[in-house]
Amino acid sequence: MEGGKPSLPLVYQAVQALYHDPDPAGKERASVWLGELQRSMYAWEISDQLLQLKQDVESCYFAAQTMKMKIQTSFYELPADTHNALRDSLLSHIQNLKDLSPIIVTQLALAIADLALQMASWKGCVHTLIEKYNSDISSMPFLIEILTVLPEEVHSRSLRIGANRRTEIIEDLAYYSSTVVTLLTTCVEKAGNDEKMLIKVFRCLGSWFNLGVLDSNFMASNQLLMVLFQVLQRDETSTNLHEAASDCVCSALYAIENVDTNVALALQLFQGVLTLETAYHMAVAREDLDKVLNYCRIFTELCETFLETTVRSPGQGMGDLRTLELLLICAGHPQYEVVEISFNFWYRLGEHLYKINDVALHSIFRPYIQRLLHCLARHCQLDPDHEGIPEDTDDFGEFRMRVSDLVKDVIFLVGSMECFSQLYSTLKEGNPPWEVTEAVLFIMAAIAKSVDPENNPTLSEMLQQVVQLPDSIHMAVRYTSIELVGEMSEVVDRNPRFLDPVLNYLMKGLREKPLASAAAKAIHNICSVCRDHMAQHFQGLLDIARSLDSFALSTEAAVGLLKGTALVLGRLPLEKIAECLSDLCAVQVMALKKLLAEESTNGKSADPTVWLDRLAVIFRHTNPIVENGQTHPCQKVIQEIWPVLSETLNTHQADNRIVERCCRCLRFAVRCVGKGSASLLQPLVTQMVSVYQVYPHSCFLYLGSILVDEYGMEDGCRQGLLDMLQALCMPTFQLLEQPNGLRNHPDTVDDLFRLATRFVQRSPVTLLSSSIIVHIIQCAIAATSLDHRDANCSVMKFVRDLIHTGVANDHEEDFEVRKQLIGQAMEQHGQQLVTQLMHSCCFCLPPYTLPDVAEVLWEVMVFDRPMFCRWLESALKGLPKETSGGTVTVTHKQLTDFHKQVTSAEECKQVCWAIREFTRLFR
């Protein structure tokens, strides 16, 4: 903070403004100023003083939260000799403020827990806290709060205490766990009907279950378990207590995931949960949805825990199938939110049975899945008084989509055809109300694709019936029937006689506003699957495409229709494609020309993205089969369209969104005709480079990578592409060298290294011999620490591919040159690269990036193992060995073991495993 330590009245004034200033700008200013204070060294002393003053809830909350934050993120600021004083001060504050507000107690409890985890000199913290406070009944609430958050913080992302310290803490907590459980049991005995205390006890117990440190035999015979189930069985239990008890039982069930090693506790929980069926029915009778949901959570967790036992020995012991009965009872509840809780279990059960693939086993579970599907079809019914089409964006619409996914995952157990036939017969034989019909059609749409379309009279008959549905039926039935027809495109492909009636049916839907988008999507599906049959209908598709905006289509549906049309266009005779493509693009090109003309007359800018996206989808999906030597039929059309795209790009060059869409359109145009776009190369590159100097949109780098991919192996293009790369790199480096430049522009990093990687793949010697390569490598080394999924992936791929060119394709004539150039680059940058990679994966990068880091290290090692051994040793020597709290992060043996594991690895995945284990020491 500038200007030294602020006074307490000033801090107090800022806190008041944060909570009470009626002017939002005043609140914002206070928030920024207090944020700066929290990041400064003064925060320690000021928050301590605010807590001592105990002026009001707001200032104490701010101080407690600041204390927690400082301990989590800036503990290294404090010298080791102050740690004891900080601990004593926090304990004194929590004692003095215990009655002020529960949220302050929680913040201080978190601060104490985070301090205990980082402070190596505080041995046996659980024991000392219990000894200090367990005899004072008024201290019990905050003592239990500390004991609740302590196990939760062990795996906190905010604390990088390292695997060594974490192991030490977990062993320590396991050692004292029975003391904690005994304390909680005593609390329950003394609590009587004190509901708040029971809730605290259950939360605390759940926290220790979650950490997995409780002795399961000790817990199996513990009275707390009995109390939990008594609370859940009692009809008069309040909602909050019921939820706390339910959470605790779920945590206990989760903790015994490995049933075989926790048999005694598993049996107690298993029997305990089965006793809750009556209580569930009572909650249903009382229409207490909160409790019903809690019971369903418990039943689901029970099934998840005993899943493997159930599949291994169905109906025996703890594989008792009453567990599935409980879930099906819940599935019968009228509220769909109840059954939804169990979806993940049914999905996992299906996955297990699919892998085992045992007919006898499948037959045991089939009746349960049949009953589940029956319930799901009922839950998918719309209200009888629902008007219009089904909503797919509200909660119920999302539920139906999840049902559709689940049905697809478990249908193999029942048999798609059998299920489809049963559903069809319910429609054919009965005369169900519209909402039943619609729900049945919805489930049929989910499984239609998994039914074998070959010689299938039921499917053919069904399709025939659907396309003859009268216009007078409910709009929702028509909507879902259109979706079903779209899913049955395989049937249409095998039975081309249906194509005309199906298209007529869909065209009818396309002309009605509520059904238009669904019909467009179905036509798109038919086009994708029945391309050859649809070629005869191309003129009809072209007519639709020309008048696209006369239909009430969503953007997505309109683009989908054009995609379908383009897919069919690619199947026309070669000589017809150019003319038809020109016709298909004409509407969009005219619209773009009109916008440009309007702009030049009235100066107002109109948004061209709709037309650009439509052109992009046409180019992307027009893929005719062109023999060698033939001119690409799309080449002429794209050359004709280029001036309009170029002018649109120039007009909107300051608008990143529009430029991105222009580049996307050009990307697909270039990909569409490949080398046939050569005449565009010079004008396109010139325009890209000139706009990029003023407006460095990263999409130009991406477009550059496409050009390098297409033309990088052409001798006549290499120098021009290198000039393009150098011209694009200068403004890019300026942007990335700004403070936080890499972090603020991850898209630019991503696209720059895509471009550089394409060069490495297509023309490595051109790049490696240039002067720009040194700057690109230095930028890559700096960017290895960037925590952004796509950008980091691009950087790692570039470095990996670059080094790999030194060993790849050793039979090619440029191999020796490549090897020598990579050797020079490694000599210059190798040590810096390895050191930076080790630092990044220990301190900056999330675990999912480690396989990429491992691949880079592996390539360095393959290129020059002796040098790599020295570089890695030097990098490891530079890592910190202790934390600020005095705990050992990494031992000498762990360092030498890691070095040996990596340098003696015989395949890349061994390097990856070693890095995974090693970086845990620093997390």
Q: How far apart are CA 746 and CA 732, in angstroms?
A: 12
The span from the CA of 75 to the CA of 720, in Å, is 54
The residue type found at 20 is H
- Over residues 70-80, the mean pLDDT reads 92
pLDDT, tens digit, 9 for 90 and up, residues 699-744:
999 999 999 999 999 888 999 999 999 999 999 999 999 999 999 9
* Whole-model pTM over 0.85: yes
How many other CB atoms sit within 10 Å of the CB of residue 791?
22
What pLDDT is stored for residue 884 in this prediction? Answer: 78
pLDDT band at 3 (very low <50, low <70, confident <90, very high): low
pLDDT band of 341, cuts 50, 70, 90 = very high
Q: Under a CB-based contact definition with an 8 Å cutoff, are residues 523 and 510 in contact?
A: yes
Asked if residues 96 and 56 have their Cβ atoms less than 8 Å apart, the reply is no
Q: Does 590 or 193 have the greater pLDDT score?
A: 590
Q: Give the pLDDT of residue 373.
A: 95
pLDDT band at 55 (very low <50, low <70, confident <90, very high): confident
pLDDT of residue 888: 86
**Phi and psi at residue 713, in whole multiples of 5°?**
-95, 0
pLDDT recorded at residue 2: 64
pLDDT in tens, 817-866: 999 999 999 999 999 999 999 999 999 999 999 999 999 999 999 999 99
What local confidence, expressed as pLDDT, does residue 134 receive? 86
pLDDT digit string (tens) for 358-376?
999 999 999 999 999 999 9
Q: How far apart are CA 377 and CA 140, in angstroms?
A: 51
Residue 393 phi, psi dihedral angles, 5° rounding: -105, -10
Mean pLDDT comparison of 410-419, 477-486, 881-890, highest-scoring range? 477-486
Is-contact 245 202, C-beta < 8 A? yes
Q: Backbone dihedral region of 287: left (phi > 0), alpha (psi from -120 to 50 degrees) or beta?
A: left
604 — pLDDT class (breaks 50, 70, 90): low
Look at 31-35, 497-501, 787-791, 811-815 and tell me which has the smallest mean pLDDT: 811-815
Which is more confident, 887 or 176? Answer: 176
Cα–Cα distance, 526 to 645 (Å, whole number): 31
Residue 733 burial class via C-beta count within 10 angstroms: exposed 0-12, middle 13-18, buried 19 and up: middle
In the block, tokens 């680059």 appear at 825
Length of the chain: 923
pLDDT band at 886 (very low <50, low <70, confident <90, very high): confident
Taking CA atoms, 331 is separated from 230, 299, 340, 371, 714, in Å, by 25, 11, 8, 9, 64
Spatial contact of 632 and 676, defined as CB atoms under 8 Å apart: yes
| Residue pLDDT, tens place only, 629-672 | 788 889 999 999 999 999 999 999 999 999 999 999 999 999 99
- pLDDT at residue 26 tops 70: yes
Model pLDDT, residue 885: 77
Query: What percent of the chain has pLDDT above 70?
Result: 99
Q: What is the mean pLDDT of the chain?
A: 93
Q: What is the dihedral of CA 404, 409, 411, 417, to 10 degrees?
A: 80
Mean pLDDT of 591-608: 82
pLDDT computed for residue 603 by the predictor: 64
| Side chain identity, residue 135 | S
User: pLDDT-derived band of residue 883, with 50, 70 and 90 as boundaries?
Assistant: confident
Helix (H, G, I), strand (E, B) or coil at 85: helix
Place of tokens 């693009």: 585
Tens digit of each residue's pLDDT (9 = 90 or more) over 110-157: 999 999 999 988 989 999 999 999 888 889 999 999 999 999 999 998
pLDDT above 80: residue 455 = no
